[in-house]
Structure 1
Amino acid sequence: MMWIGYTLGQIASFFLTCFRIIPLYVGNRIKHTRIPSSGPVVISLTSHGKRLEKVYLTLESIARGYMKAPIVLWLDEEDFHSEYPETLQRLIKRGLQVRCSDGHYGPHTKYWGQFREVVGTDTRVVTIDDDMIYPEWFLQNLLFIGDLRSDVIHAYRAHRIELRDGRMMPYAKWSAANTCDASFLHFATGVSGVMYPPAFISYVVEQGDVFQQLTPRADDVWLHACALRSGHPIRQVYAQPRHFAVIPTTQIGALVVGNTLMGGNDEQIRKVYHPEDLEKLVEASRQED
């Protein structure tokens, strides 16, 4: 199963991750490099509670990248008005933007406020998770591939939706994408980073916040349904999915437990996908076979 391979891979990288953390820890205390305040692409994420104590590691990994972009951290009102850790305060002085969400949107917070802020412009939005260490080439490679096609959603990690007898198989039985070809059968997972084009952003904003009733804990499900309906296939940056290092102890109680291991995604998938959505997936499968 795909989640078993993912879990074992993260355990194997634990000790290497500890060494990766050291320069980020030091950099947070000595660096003065500015984070841009504007640009053609914005990096957006969310965090909450005790995770705010370690989110600086993710932010520093992005800020050190070969290509720079504005970084916006979206917080619920309670966290926004709390006292930030010194590590976060240092990043704010360097240009990190911290915004207050106008509602409790759960995992959708990492994109919803940012999409509404840039809608109607040519700005692309890259979403990341708050518990990962991203490589220096993360944004550079994503933009290079993204410039090839503006009608595609680009992700470093995607699953392939598996169908049987014209129906979607359970989420846990989907396979890892193994091609760079764009496909509606590809399901982008936000953990390794996803870049969304302006036209897609406009479509998502037009749908409003109905996701709160349909997929409150599965932003990836809602965004894939929107991609399918708006005509934006998903392309994996590399033929094989990229798994970046996880910050130790941050995934205790993570959504992967409820959404994947306990079938939470399947429940929300049943609420979201219409018969016509399934028809599009079946047709995509026929064309690609």
Structure 2
Amino acid sequence: MKVKELPLSIYTAFRLRSLSQAKLHSTAAPRIPVIVSLTTIEARLAVVDLVIRSLLRQSVSPKKILLWVHESLMNSLPTKLTELQGKHFEIRSTHLHSSHKKLIHSIKLFPGKAIVTCDDDLMYRPNWLNLIYNESLSYPQHIIANQTRTITKDALGSYLPYVQWPVNQATKNNGMNILPIGAEGVLYPPGSLDPRFENEKLFMELAPKADDLWFKSMSLLQGTACRLAANRYKNAIPIMGSQKSSLKHINIKKDYNTAQWQQLVSFFELDIEPKRI
């Protein structure tokens, strides 16, 4: 987290926690037919209520907000989180430790609904859900993301390392080379992933720490295009101290994403023609 982000983070956290439960659950916001789904880890249990509060205060109201928590943590949930449960928000347990759980369980529970995933270390601005949902109305068959990378090959046709894939390039051609990044929010329409999306044995073998890459491979196998949202407004607000435990430190800084992508490409024989440089 950058030093310049601290004042806004502190102010937003204070403002969200000052809202009563009655205020949070008495929203008159229009309902939209989507499910918001996320997961969390033990290190963020003390702050994930801020994420939920920001989701409950959106300008539009989803059908449900689901938080997936490993079953071993269910008896350790703080009251400030559990007391937020109600008509629009529910906490569910899972045996999975990996971050893949933020999407796969919700798809199985609501197979006919669009699922919007988000992260557990950001406070989302009030118009966040409305913007990504409205964009999906124009591209109902596409996966829409507020943050992306463009899968890129060199002149010889070999994939460049993950860290060299450009960030937030506008969708070009058929969008098959666009990789949605989960942090700022991704909307998955019904049926956008190959049925093997829930194959625990496979994703733990091929991409155990890269759910974004796993879901990208599943969208490729299904023939689903991805695109960068055109109307993203402002970035979500980081929660102070929440980024100390992050897959980013492992996957990007140690370049594990490159290895996991190569494993997925080899196993599924993924055949796309990303932009070459």
Q: TM-score, normalised by structure 2?
A: 0.89
Q: Distance in 2 between matches of 1:207 and 1:91?
A: 29
- Cα pair 2:264 2:270 within 8 Å, conserved: no
Change (3 A) 1:240 1:170: farther
1:113 corresponds in structure 2 to 105
Q: Which moved more, 1:153-162 or 1:14-23?
A: 14-23
- Contact between 2:104 and 2:197, CA under 8 Å: does it hold in 1? no
Quick check: 1:178–1:241 contact (8 Å CA) kept in 2?
no
Equivalent residues in 2 for 1:1-289, closer than 5 Å: 10-28=2-20, 31-34=23-26, 40-69=33-62, 70-80=64-74, 82-93=75-86, 95-101=88-94, 103-119=95-111, 121=112, 123-164=113-154, 165-181=156-172, 183-201=175-193, 203-205=194-196, 208-209=199-200, 210-238=202-230, 243-274=235-266, 279-282=271-274, 285=275
Between 1:234-243 and 1:41-50, the stretch displaced more is 234-243
Question: In the aligned structure 2, how far is the partner of 1:180 from the partner of 1:28?
Answer: 41
Residue 186 of structure 1, CA deviation? 1.1
Instruction: Check the 8 A contact 1:28/1:90 in 2, yes or no.
Output: no
Distance in structure 2 (CA, Å) of the matches to 1:158 and 1:178: 7
CA distance in 1, matches of 2:259, 2:49: 33
Indicate the SS of the match to 1:223: helix
Answer whether contact 1:64 1:136 (CA < 8 A) is retained.
yes
How big is the shift at 1:207?
Answer: 5.7
Question: Using the alignment, how far apart are the partners of 1:233 and 1:55 within structure 2?
Answer: 31
Relative to structure 2, which stretch is displaced further, 252-261 or 225-234?
Answer: 225-234
Supply the AA of the counterpart residue of 2:187: M
Question: Per-residue deviation at 1:237?
Answer: 0.9
Q: Can you list the C-alpha shifts for 1:164-203, whole angstroms capped at 9, x where unaligned?
A: 02111001111112215561111110000000010114x2
The CA distance in 2 between the partners of 1:11 and 1:171, in whole Å, is: 27
Other structure's SS at 1:176 match: coil
Q: Distance between the aligned counterparts of 1:118 and 1:30, measured in 2?
A: 27
CA distance in 2, matches of 1:280, 1:90: 46
Q: Which letter maps to 2:134? A: F
Distance in 1, Cα, partners of 2:269 & 2:138 = 26
Give the aligned partner of residue 4 of structure 1: none
Partner-residue secondary structure (3-state), 1:199: coil
- Whole-angstrom CA distance in 1 between matches of 2:91 and 2:196: 21
CA distance in 1, matches of 2:233, 2:227: 11
**1: CA distance between counterparts of 2:181 and 2:20?**
28
Structure 1 or 2: larger helix share?
1
Relative distance call for 1:67 and 1:239 in structure 2 (3 A) is closer
| Aligned partners of 2:131 and 2:231 also within 8 Å | no
Does the Cα contact within 8 Å between 2:104 and 2:198 map onto a contact in 1? no
In structure 2, C-alpha distance between the alignment counterparts of 1:175 and 1:68, rounded to whole Å: 33
Going from structure 1 to structure 2, the CA distance change for 1:34 and 1:112 (only over 3 Å counts) comes to: farther
1:3 equivalent in structure 2: none
The alpha-carbon distance between structure 1 residues 273 and 21, as it changes in their structure 2 partners (threshold 3 A), is same
Structure 1 portions without partners, runs of 5+ = 1-6
Instruction: Tell me the distance in 1 between the aligned counterparts of 2:36 and 2:24.
Output: 19
Q: Which moved more, 1:176-185 or 1:124-133?
A: 176-185
Instruction: Determine if contact 1:105/1:216 at 8 Å carries over to the other structure.
Output: no
Length, aligned pairs only? 271
Compute the RMSD of aligned alpha carbons.
2.5
Provide, for residues 222-275 of structure 1, a one-character-per-residue CA deviation record: whole Å limited to 9, x for no partner: 011111221111111127896322111111131000000011111211211138
The CA deviation at 1:30 is 6.1
Q: Distance in 1 between matches of 2:249 and 2:131?
A: 30
* Structure 2 unmatched runs, 5+: none
Deviation at 1:57, TM superposition (A): 0.5
Q: Determine the C-alpha separation between the residues in 1 that align with 2:3 and 2:227.
A: 27
CA distance in 1, matches of 2:258, 2:3: 26
SS at match of 1:167: coil
